Chains A and B, each alone.
Chain A
Amino acid sequence: QSVLTQPPSVSAAPGQKVTISCSGSSSNIGHSHVSWYQQLTGTAPKLLIYDNNKRPSGIPDRFSGSKSGTSATLGITGLQTGDEADYYCGTWDSSLSAVVFGGGTKLTVL
């Protein structure tokens, strides 16, 4: 049981937009910045979004993040087959004194 809650799977057609939600509480998302990671099959996770909505260098602007209260959302526009991956949200939980992740969302581009 993950501290942060994500939908197990989402799907959309190429070229479309998809959003992935991440729900937490006042001790984690409500108290800290949210990051998002992409994990392609068989590879290490890659940072997509940090500080709720900032993109590291090299991450295309098709990827966006937002946060409101104790929830966060990852948006991906112009879906490509190469976007098929598992996506994880993460943040710091002040009650646990720990980094916490969501359970992950598998994105399928139909």
Chain B
Amino acid sequence: EVQLLESGGGLVQPGGSLRLSCAASGFTFSSYAMNWVRQAPGKGLEWVSGTRDSTSNTHYADSVKGRFTISRDNSKNTLYLQMNSLRAEDTAVYYCAKVMANYYEALDYWGQGTLVTVSS
């Protein structure tokens, strides 16, 4: 059974940093692209970042480019999101999601999400 478990969320002041983790199990983690998607309170889904099977191939939404860094440790089956220079508008539930094989735009498994609150 595929499982994705996010952690690392919490309350952080504007300008601060946070690192999210997503522990994966139930599939060959190193073989799949992974994404981060966020959802601000009461709002829709916003894609944040994605990585192919290695961290050398990554993409970012314009809203986080230069501030967030996606990475993965295939030996630990874990996906990360390093978030720096956080802003109030980064407040959201952050989901990690597994990409379906051969369909980069299809996210077939999602974690339960971790809440990040940026506030003073």
Contacts and interface: CB of A to CB of B under 8 A. Distances in A.
A is bound by B: yes
A17 to B, nearest CB: 24
A44 B110 contact: yes
Given A99-B50, A101-B47, A104-B45, A44 B111 contact: yes
A33 B105 CA distance: 7
Interface residues of B, number: 25
Contacts of A34: 105
B59 A44 contact: no
Nearest to B103: A50
Nearest to A2: B44
5 contacts: A44-B95, A45-B95, A88-B45, A90-B47, A101-B44
Contact of A99 (B47, B108, B110, B111): B47
Interface residues of A, number: 28
Given A37-B45, A44-B95, A92 B110 contact: no
Nearest to A102: B44
Interface of A: 2, 32-35, 37, 39, 44-47, 50-51, 56, 86, 88, 90-92, 96-104
Contact of A101 (B45, B50, B103, B109): B45
A97 B107 contact: no
A45 B59 contact: no
A47 B105 CA distance: 11
